[in-house]
Structure 1
Amino acid sequence: MSDTLSEIIATRIVPHVAQHVLQVDAQRASVVVDGVQAFAGGDKFLSGKVAVMVCYLLTQAENERKCDNSALMRSREMLSWLAPIKTETWGILNFLNGLYLLKEANLLESVVSDDTLKTLQTNLDWRTFVNVEDLTLRNLPTNYYGVAFGIAKYRELLGWEAEHVSQPIFDRLMSHIEHYSQQNGYMDETEGEGRFDRYTVLLPAELSALLTSTGVAVPERLRSMLRKSSEICLRLANERGHGFSYGRSIGAYGDTCPLEVLSIAALLGVLSDEEKRLAYAYAVRIMRKFIEFWLDDDMQSVNMWEHGRQTDGYRHKGRILGENMSLCWQLIRVAHHFAETEVKYASAQLDLRKLATHTPKCQVYRFTNDHDVRALAIIRDGSHVFSLPLINGGRGVTGEHSQHYFWSTPYLPIPFENEVLEVAPGTHHPQLAPRILMADGAELMPIVYLSDLTHEQTASGCKISYTLPHLCQVDGPAPQANPSFAADVTYSFEPGRIHCDMRFVPQTSVEVTDVRMDFATFSDLPAVQKASVTFGEGVIKQIQLNGLYLEKVEYVETRKPYHTSHGALKWNTCFVNDAISQSEPFHVAWTIDF
């Protein structure tokens, strides 16, 4: 197995993506990847993602003095064919990135004809998704300001825009961060609703990489944000190469997030010498996982959709070719950023024992300081790294990004770890977070309205507590506070055990129909007892309940709502209580042994 990122890129990533580019060159619009006709699959970014790889492969050939006239002509014909194909946002940014690579290599004029350039200058524009009058986005999350900025900056460098057109877009994004994130410097993807997910951590890296690649100094404010993101990513370091495990758009992209953050942080000197060593060793694990797990030899493709796997509807399988291109392009850029670090740390080992010894068992990162808690706790237990996101999710935006995030399973305030405690994307199961069904039809959950967060290190682990002055009604498109109950929640993490205690206190005259909670797991061979289930195989050994009784244990491996990014969950355990007192507080407590 290769020990350096450059070796992995040269021996596995570049040959993989080059094979797809050759296939597109030969078959054009009729190209099929694992049964999907790629250019008819609904991928709005595809032509741009193919284009950047065409440009990259050509510049690499030029660097290695393998670029002959036939290579130039094939690239010229492909870019001419790709130019009129409509592409959006990320596709535009990728296409422009590729053109700038050609310009930097003095190949642009010989590879792209004047007519093709005119077509591209018209089609590749940030104004297609940003309102020029007030610089508002058209039904897109806030991270798309970064995409718009990159497009505008590349247009400037190509001579298609006046200088500094990109600056107001960059300023608009930074203003959003300042307004909604207070002094903490973490980006809320919504207009103050509190969605702090993978993009919160990733955005400073994306922006810093864009600025660096276009020759612009990274401002101190952004470097400070990148530093905060780096601390979270370093805290996630693990031998299996897992990245982010919660929120939207994770899976393979959850893994590449720490790569993007730590690589540009290393390049910009944001990390200490010891942190660079850890970052590089972690990056090698992530890339190894990519080639061993995400690349499927039988499919000749990245696999995020088959054999029990699934991802958000946003990254549907119709985008299979584009996902191969964009993920490989991310890895190539990461290796480029890490190139200087690699010379010094190619033999670095990921010493998890040292990491566990020299860092707290639990680290809490506060995204906001106001009454509504938004934070992330990362808990280490031996080789396990659990994430406990307290991030709400927000209502989302209209269009394809509207998923009612605030109560979707990947945003619940519960522990996550890939291949251990994992949930299906785009679902709304009451996984480890009870749902209270009221007689009037309202459904309530202990989410969104979190306050009074405390955490402490204990002799063997840590304890995290918060309160909810009211619960959230989840049967609508946006969070709605319901005064029927207040709640107190306490998590206790000890070696091999997670315990959660939730106390619900009626605040008004209430009538509860029942309380339900699910627990879906990869573990197998369940043995059912009165209020617990023991598993004969798998990481999770047992779940015990107090306050709810066991209703049923279902085999769900063949059911798509239980397919996660890393494979199918096997069993779903359902707990219920339909005899809740109408006036007295009640508890729901669970304990997981692993």
Structure 2
Amino acid sequence: MRKSKFVLTAVSAALLAIACGGGTPPGAGNPPGTERPVDPAVLAAQPKASNTPMDEIVTQQLLPTIEHLFDQVRAQGLDTELQGVKVFAPNSGDKFLPGKVAIGFSYLLLNASPSDARYQTYLDGYRAISDMTINVTNETWGIYYYLSALWKLKKAGHLDGENPAVSAATLDKLKTRLDWRTFVNPDYSLINLPTNYYGVAFSVARLRYLLGWEGPEASEALLQKMINHYKTFSAFGFSDETDGSGRFDRYSILLIGEIVQRLIETDMQVSPEDLAALKGWLRQSVDVIKLRLNPAGNGIDYGRSLSAYADTSFAEVLSAAAHMNVLTAEEKDIAYAFATRITAKYTEFWYDAETGSLNMWDKGRRTDGYRGKARILGENLSLSHQLLYTNNLWKLSGHAQKPPVSTRAFIDYLDTLPRTALTRFAGFDGQSATYDRGLVTYRDGLRIISLPVVNGAATYHRTNPYFAIPYSYNMLSGVADTQWPQLQPMFTLADTSTGTPQALIPAAYQKNLRTQESADGKVLRVSYEQDAMDRVTGTGSGGSPFKDKRITSTTTYTFEPGQITREDTYTPDGALSLSKIEMEFGSFSDGVSTSGDKRFSYASGDVYAFEVEGLRDCTVADVRGDANYNTPVGALKTSIRCSTPAQTFSTPLTIKWLLKYHSPGVASLAPH
């Protein structure tokens, strides 16, 4: 990579700060005893640059990665290839790429001045790349990203004069092609898209208005459409990704942050009533994120489209909340410290210096098909964009160029957070027609454990990142786009007369979700019932959950320090002929041994013991080489596979498992 204003430099003072938890080294300024030492395991778990100013990480580590890609695209043009992927190929599958290229590379110009040695190179290169990609497929999100780049460049004066960043001919084509009408009907309803695209459509319309390409009517209407959707399908202030079917995942927490970010970006004014509603919803997302703050910069741990996006989604919400004064002064300092950790984690873990690219797909990592490796260039640029624009908001508040609070202060704040919480998403009205959707949180020291009861709707309900099972970074995980029965049973009926055997799982019909916390807050009991199973294969299963009432169930979880127990009782509606019942526990732990009677211990890893009752046979498999056991942060190592063969199921069956882990397990908060 050529030298430029973004070349990496040694930051010895920052490294000293990191080694001492962000404070001054003992004997070098701080009076003895002013700050308690930090557990070395915590320091090992957090990113190395956790106590470095965010803007320093962005300038010295993040921007050079964008410049490297910029030089590669300039040199290779439409033949650009990253790790074997021809990124601009017509069949690449990345329908957002030109927009992501436009927004990503715009930061080189936006962070340079005409006196910089490479300024003219950036300007000429940007214009050439925009000309080159004008006929490459660019839809929805890509339209928004491109318009956002144009607006930023226009405000900075880079679209004017004799040497603009985008040629007049290309700009004229973009004016026609970058339009919300390509994915929104005349009545402002979306065309076969999830509801988060209301925010995309609004942003596109608003930016077109700011660029002088149309009036304000569409953006105002789409903003109201978006707000009304929240009011209609978000009983507790979190976005349902469907029109009421009940899919609550990463976007349910993130979307309000994106909406507010677009209002900030476009200086959109809303009514006092709408502003109060938006701030209220934003505060609710903040409260979910606060419970998940951790030294390692880890984000959400269940649902689809995770990997680095699990982390950056929290950064987006927190920066919007800080800008809108939804946070207290103390919360702003803590949020900035956490956002800095997210930024540092990206450059140290998600970015692979050996390949010169983000890695969400190799070395044991896996994401869903939606974010497949065909999108490698776009994902590099869109994730960098998220960190860059959130850094700019922190700069406006005076934070980004200052070191975050010390690790000691950050950890002390985490100690003040509630141990347990139930966040309600939908339901909880006691009516059988409405199922309960919520998120249970259990904090064991610095270990955060999530129990989502969220359905999945569409095709996701059958995949294990949406199961109502515990998730915790580097300890308990689902695997994108896979259906193996992680920590919950699958019942396969013996009747094959309909073709594909029918398989039922306890995944979609939870109600009467309740939590009970012990007086000292250390023990949390969670219970719910299901009046039907979810048929995931066989006649009728289709894409959405299919209600099969032949089996009902009750479930009880008990969370306590270092231990999780789940106990289910399954009751058949009459005698059922089963070909098998199966359940797995895929784990990052290794060195499995058994003491018999389905009791297992592990020689290494966070989980050190696992026990099963109610299933007849259990075996151990090494799954390190199987891509179906690659999680967003790395490969699972072992799977304990339990099953019961063919039987007549006519009386209630209890299945129970108990999992023991090292508590608090701080060192393993960092990715393996």
* Alignment TM-score, normalising by the size of structure 1: 0.95
1:361–1:461 CA contact under 8 A, matched in 2: no
Indicate the residue corresponding to 2:34 in structure 1. Answer: none
2:79–2:86 CA contact under 8 A, matched in 1: yes
Equivalent residue in structure 2 for 1:578, among 645, 649, 655: 645
Instruction: Give the secondary structure class of the aligned counterpart of 1:97.
Output: helix
**Per the alignment, do residues 550 and 533 of structure 1 end up closer, same or farther by CA in structure 2, a change over 3 Å counting?**
farther
Q: Which runs of 5+ in 2 are unaligned?
A: 1-14, 16-48, 496-500, 662-672
Indicate the residue corresponding to 2:510 in structure 1. Answer: 450
Q: Greater helix share, 1 or 2?
A: 1
1:23-38 equivalences in 2 (<5 Å)? 23-38=72-87
Indicate the residue corresponding to 1:417 in structure 2. Answer: 472
User: How many equivalent residue pairs?
Assistant: 584
Write out per-residue CA displacement over residues 21-67 of structure 1, whole angstroms, 9 at most, x where no aligned residue. Answer: 12111221111212222111331111111112232211221387667
Residues in 2 aligned to 1:31 and 1:566: alpha-carbon distance in whole angstroms? 27
The farther-off stretch of 135-144 and 411-420 is: 135-144
| 2:539 equivalent to 1:486 | no
Equivalent residue in structure 2 for 1:349, among 381, 398, 406: 406
Indicate the residue corresponding to 1:401 in structure 2. Answer: none
Indicate the residue corresponding to 2:242 in structure 1. Answer: 190
Residue 454 of structure 1 aligns to which amino acid in structure 2?
Answer: R
The farther-off stretch of 419-428 and 440-449 is: 440-449
1:485–1:508 CA contact under 8 A, matched in 2: no
1:530–1:550 CA contact under 8 A, matched in 2: no
Residues in 2 aligned to 1:353 and 1:342: alpha-carbon distance in whole angstroms? 19
Indicate the residue corresponding to 1:261 in structure 2. Answer: 317
**Per the alignment, do residues 495 and 38 of structure 1 end up closer, same or farther by CA in structure 2, a change over 3 Å counting?**
same
Indicate the residue corresponding to 2:614 in structure 1. Answer: 547
Cα deviation for residue 391 of structure 1 reads 0.3
Cα deviation for residue 349 of structure 1 reads 3.1
Indicate the residue corresponding to 1:398 in structure 2. Answer: none
Indicate the residue corresponding to 2:377 in structure 1. Answer: 321
Instruction: Give the secondary structure class of the aligned counterpart of 2:422.
Output: strand
Indicate the residue corresponding to 1:536 in structure 2. Answer: 603
**Per the alignment, do residues 388 and 345 of structure 1 end up closer, same or farther by CA in structure 2, a change over 3 Å counting?**
farther
Residue 507 of structure 1 aligns to which amino acid in structure 2?
Answer: D
1:235-274 equivalences in 2 (<5 Å)? 235-274=291-330
* Alignment TM-score, normalising by the size of structure 2: 0.84
1:552-571 equivalences in 2 (<5 Å)? 552-571=619-638
Indicate the residue corresponding to 1:139 in structure 2. Answer: 192
Residue 448 of structure 1 aligns to which amino acid in structure 2?
Answer: A
1:280–1:341 CA contact under 8 A, matched in 2: no
Write out per-residue CA displacement over residues 199-234 of structure 1, whole angstroms, 9 at most, x where no aligned residue. Answer: 001100111001101011362211111111111111
Residues in 2 aligned to 1:71 and 1:538: alpha-carbon distance in whole angstroms? 47
Residue 102 of structure 1 aligns to which amino acid in structure 2?
Answer: L
Equivalent residue in structure 1 for 2:136, among 79, 82, 85: 85
Q: Which runs of 5+ in 1 are unaligned?
A: 396-403
| 2:423 equivalent to 1:365 | yes
Residues in 2 aligned to 1:34 and 1:192: alpha-carbon distance in whole angstroms? 41
Equivalent residue in structure 2 for 1:333, among 362, 375, 389: 389
Write out per-residue CA displacement over residues 390-427 of structure 1, whole angstroms, 9 at most, x where no aligned residue. Answer: 000101xxxxxxxx111111000000112110121110
1:452-467 equivalences in 2 (<5 Å)? 452-458=512-518, 459=520, 460-467=522-529
Residues in 2 aligned to 1:300 and 1:55: alpha-carbon distance in whole angstroms? 19
Indicate the residue corresponding to 2:46 in structure 1. Answer: none
Cα deviation for residue 510 of structure 1 reads 2.7
1:136-285 equivalences in 2 (<5 Å)? 136-182=189-235, 184-217=236-269, 219-285=275-341
Residues in 1 aligned to 2:502 and 2:360: alpha-carbon distance in whole angstroms? 35
Residues in 1 aligned to 2:413 and 2:552: alpha-carbon distance in whole angstroms? 38
Residues in 1 aligned to 2:452 and 2:101: alpha-carbon distance in whole angstroms? 35
Cα RMSD (Å): 1.8
Cα deviation for residue 480 of structure 1 reads 1.6
2:364–2:630 CA contact under 8 A, matched in 1: yes
2:576–2:649 CA contact under 8 A, matched in 1: yes
Indicate the residue corresponding to 2:664 in structure 1. Answer: none
Percent of residue pairs identical: 36
The farther-off stretch of 505-514 and 333-342 is: 505-514
Cα deviation for residue 516 of structure 1 reads 1.0
Residue 223 of structure 1 aligns to which amino acid in structure 2?
Answer: K
Write out per-residue CA displacement over residues 94-139 of structure 1, whole angstroms, 9 at most, x where no aligned residue. Answer: 111111011101221231232111110111111111122x322222
